[in-house]
Structure 1
């Protein structure tokens, strides 16, 4: 991510935090920057290591988990439950309402794409769940895929 884009994302993240009465502390901002700079999802321990290298300061993993929890509730960060890893939301600077996210995860290289799910698909899923006498707890969808680069490399 270019420095101009990152500055715009961080400025918008600060505004989102203000709108939710949450302070974007220097450490939270630095954790978000680690995720913005990464081209793949990171575990909390990956973030601890990168943070130590980039900022010459140690963070406890539990502190990172707390920061990620706060950032994910806004939502500036997403947790991939299937991977137990985190990534920055790809729509932080958007000014429109977002569709429910689905994550396409390449099982070969770890690349992730965040795509919105159309409301009619979400409604159909919710109806199907209700008809099965279940209640939806988490609507995030994570699909295991192969990105085109990895798929083409296998040919």
Structure 2
């Protein structure tokens, strides 16, 4: 069983445990994200499903599937780009930190890291001190990946 098959099997089990169902089309959408090093839009995912899998899935259906996968903690939505990435921790059994995404501004590669809860707590206090309320602790940082640094 390759890594992608293992991740899909774990994802399917997680969905069953929460009373949800990982349908074949939802698996196709998740698989497209698992095979990509870049964040993908719903349109790009629909294109991949059509071109590589021969499955025509309307973009609105892809959005609904992505919403389901996000609720099941299998994918993350990058707010700044309005694109999605597969969660890097689907097969992990430990408690996860807050997601932080490093996004290469040159090639678009995305790397998921965890941020310590204490850092987020400090940010929340700083934000509250000026009267604001944090609505999402997810961080998205524009960076340059090692490959693009070497190419420069």
Q: Deviations over 1:77-123 (max 9, x none)?
A: 11111111111101000000100000000000101110000121111
Q: Deviations over 1:18-72 (max 9, x none)?
A: 1211110110011111111112111100000110112212111000000000101
Say which of 102, 110, 116 aligns to 2:108. 110
Q: Does residue 1:47 correspond to 2:10, yes or no?
A: no
Report the equivalent of 1:14. 12
TM-score scaled to structure 1, two decimals? Answer: 0.94
Q: Which 5+ residue runs of structure 2 have no aligned equivalent?
A: none
Give, in whole Å, the separation in 2 of the partners of 1:109 and 1:150: 7
- Once the 2 structures are TM-superposed, how far is the Cα of residue 153 of structure 1 from its aligned partner? 2.1
Give, in whole Å, the separation in 2 of the partners of 1:57 and 1:18: 24
Report the equivalent of 2:135. 137
Give, in whole Å, the separation in 1 of the partners of 2:148 and 2:53: 33
Runs of 4+ aligned residues of structure 1 deviating over 4 Å after TM superposition are none
Q: Which 5+ residue runs of structure 1 have no aligned equivalent?
A: none
Report the equivalent of 1:98. 96
TM-score scaled to structure 2, two decimals? Answer: 0.96
Q: What is the aligned length?
A: 152
CA RMSD of aligned residues (A): 1.0
